[in-house]
Structure formats: C-alpha cells, structure tokens
Amino acid sequence: MPTAFVAPRTTSTSIFKDDIFKGKVLFCTGGGSGICRGMTEAMMRHGANATIVGRKIDRLTQAAKELSEATGQKCLPIQGDVRQPRALQEAAAKTVEAFGRIDFVICGAAGNFLVPISGLSENAFRTVIEIDTLGTYNTIKATLPHVRANKGAYIHVSAMLHYKGTPYQAHVSAAKAGVDALSAVVAVEEGPHGVRSNVIAPGAIANTEGMDRLGGKGPDAPEGLYPLGRMGEISDVANATVFLFSDAASYITGQVLPVDGASEHLRGLV
Ligand code: HXC
C-alpha cells in the first residue's frame, strides 16, 4: 500500500499546556530507557516530578540526570526488580518521602525475546510472565493507596501482538493479555474511588530495545507496512500518555489505546 503521506512528528508541548501536571508525581517502572523513558520525559515536560524504577541503577541514574536537565523537573532513580513486591513498596515509599505523593503510574517494565513455543522453557515463560504480569500486579498493589488518595491514574504498557497469534511470542502474548485484564479490573473496581486505568498498546516503535530484540527495522522499513507513511516513534506513545493522564481523558478508563498507526489492520496483507 504505497503512500505519499507521512504523518507529522509532533511533540506534546506543541499541543498541551506546559504546566498541566504541575505539582503531580509520576511513578514509572521501566523508565530508564526506551518507550517508558520517553513517556516519563513527556510527563516531566508538562510539570510532573518522576520516579523511575528498574534493575540497572547506572542506566537509571544517567537517565534521571538527563531527564532533569532536559525538563527542569526532579527525577528520582530507584533500583528495583518489579518481580519483588517489597522492592516496589520501598520505591513507592521513597517516592512519597521525596515528592509527597504519587498521582500517576506507568507499569512499563517488560521482558522479551523471540522463541517458538516448542523451544520455550518453563523458566523462560515464567520469567516474562513474572516481569510483565506479576510486575504489573506488584506495581499496582504498591502504589494504589497513593493513587487512590489523589484520584490519579494508571497507564499499562501492553502490545499489539496478543490480539492475534504472533509467532515466537507465546510468553509475551500471554503476559500482555494478563496486563490488559488487570487494567480493566482496576478501572471498574477503582473507578468509584476516582482512579482511572488504561492500556497503551504500542505497535512497532523505532529505536527501542523491544524492536531491536525482535529484529525490527528502523524508520526506513519497507514502504507499505505503515499506513501513515512511517513507523511509530517514542514521541507518538509519549503524546498518547500525556493525553490519557490529562483531564482531557477524564471519562476514558478501562480502554486499550493502540498507538500503531493502523499497522495491525494491515497484518496479513503485506
Ligand atoms: C530463549 C531465553 C532467552 C532467549 C532468556 N531466556 N533469553 N530463552 N531465547 N533469547 C530464558 C533463559 O534461558 C532462562 O530460561 C529464562 O529465560 C530466564 O532468563 P534469565 O536471563 O535468567 O532472566 P533475567 O535475567 O531475569 O532476564 C529476563 C529477560 C530480560 C526477559 C531475558 O533480561 C529481558 O528481556 N530484557 C529485555 C528487556 C526488553 O527488551 N524490554 C522491551 C520489551 S518490548 P532457562 O530455562 O534457561 O532457565 C515488549 C513489547 C514488544 O515487551 C512489542 C514489539 C512489537
């Protein structure tokens, strides 16, 4: 499907007011790199302070420094494995100690590799379920009292690959289906407390570890794969994040928002 059109590359700051998250605090797992780092940066550019949680403290510390310098907001790096409930509880407590509150949570930490189910070990399957699904559960449990207190919101980073059968992705597909389900339950159970919960499901996003690991191509991928004329970019997911956490989305909860430029609808045709 050749196209002459290329979707514009926009930044959230060109559309949303700078200070819409002033005084608010974001807690993001997986925020040290890739998509989640971009989501965090966008929130900080609109006034939020942020905690980023991950396993690699060197990478987190560097990311936090760069994010603070780029946005003028505070960013707290906290080492922790989302598979450990206590690590999340301690990270939430440190966030409240440093910033006084938690309003928004991004459950983004994820693991991925390509392997057919015939070669997928029980431990490999369990590892991804534990990082993605159990990690999301642990993050929700550790942060919910704070998010509830502030009538805040969750965004869970899922994927497009489990809505159909995606080869070599049994572990991630099962894990992300669980993430979607958790988000929907939080939406209905916590809605009466003023808490919203949504899923962002990125498609192929250029320059991310996920795409590298999946053998994805860069922005110059073959013409026709992308109805909007280009691959997704981290800023596309970041813009969706700002929208979903903003009051513009105050009646949107329990939803899955694909950020894939309709590429998924083309699957099987190209
Ligand atoms: C087969 C593998 C494997 C591979 C690990 N395992 N890598 N099996 N192929 N490439 C197996 C191991 O052999 C082991 O099983 C089990 O998984 C646990 O491996 P460990 O290395 O001990 O686990 P751990 O150190 O906890 O690391 C987990 C990890 C993680 C999942 C490998 O390091 C990781 O994936 N990091 C990548 C982060 C990432 O890419 N994030 C972006 C995700 S993007 P055995 O049986 O040997 O004990 C995403 C959406 C993509 O999720 C959508 C794109 C379109």
- Closest Cα partner for 60 from 99, 108, 11? 108
Q: In this structure, is residue 63 part of a structural domain?
A: yes
Q: What is the C-alpha separation between 129 and 125, in angstroms, rounded? A: 6
Mean pLDDT value of segment 246-264: 97
* Predicted-assembly ipTM surpassing the 0.85 threshold: yes
168's CB contacts (< 8 A; 6+ apart) are: 114, 115, 116
Mean pLDDT value of segment 193-203: 98
Reported as a single tens digit per residue, the pLDDT across 81-93 is 999 999 999 999 9
Q: Considering its fold, how many domains does the chain have in total?
A: 1
pLDDT of residue 268: 61
Q: In this structure, is residue 118 part of a structural domain?
A: yes
Q: What is the C-alpha separation between 154 and 236, in angstroms, rounded? A: 18
Reported as a single tens digit per residue, the pLDDT across 94-124 is 999 999 999 999 999 999 999 999 999 999 9
Distance 194 CA to ligand 1 centre (A): 36
Q: In this structure, is residue 8 part of a structural domain?
A: no
pLDDT of residue 221: 55
Is the model's pTM score more than 0.90?
yes
To the nearest whole number, what is the mean pLDDT of the chain? Answer: 94
Ligand 1 proximal residues by C-beta, below 6 Å: 110-113, 115, 121, 123-124, 127-128, 131, 159, 161, 172, 204, 209-210, 213-214
Q: What is the C-alpha separation between 185 and 182, in angstroms, rounded? A: 5
Mean pLDDT value of segment 6-23: 95
Instruction: Identify which of 114, 127, 161 to mutate to test ligand 1's pocket (most ligand atoms within 8 A of the CB).
Output: 127
The domain containing residue 215 runs over which residues? 19-266
Q: In this structure, is residue 4 part of a structural domain?
A: no
pLDDT of residue 270: 43
The residue contributing the CA closest to ligand 1 atom 25 is 127
pLDDT of residue 52: 98
Q: What is the CATH number of the domain that holds 220?
A: 3.40.50.720
Q: In this structure, is residue 5 part of a structural domain?
A: no
Distance 39 CA to ligand 1 centre (A): 23
Banded model confidence at residue 79, pLDDT cuts 50, 70, 90: very high
Distance 266 CA to ligand 1 centre (A): 28
Q: In this structure, is residue 135 part of a structural domain?
A: yes
The residue contributing the CA closest to ligand 1 atom 39 is 111
Q: Is 208 helix (H, G, I), strand (E, B) or coil?
A: coil
Three-class SS of 16-45? CCCCCCCCCEEEEECCCCHHHHHHHHHHHH
Q: In this structure, is residue 12 part of a structural domain?
A: no
Mean pLDDT value of segment 178-198: 98
C-alpha atoms less than 13 angstroms from C-alpha of 265 in its C-beta half-sphere: 9
Q: What is the C-alpha separation between 134 and 256, in angstroms, rounded? A: 19
The question of whether 158 is a catalytic residue gets the answer yes
pLDDT of residue 266: 83
The question of whether 197 is a catalytic residue gets the answer no
**How many of the other CB atoms lie within 10 Å of CB of 83?**
17
Q: In this structure, is residue 213 part of a structural domain?
A: yes
Mean pLDDT value of segment 242-251: 98
Ligand 1 atom at minimal distance to the Cα of residue 111: 35
Q: What is the C-alpha separation between 237 and 259, in angstroms, rounded? A: 6
pLDDT of residue 105: 99
Distance 148 CA to ligand 1 centre (A): 33
Active-site pick, 176, 183, 197, 263:
176
Mean pLDDT value of segment 213-229: 70
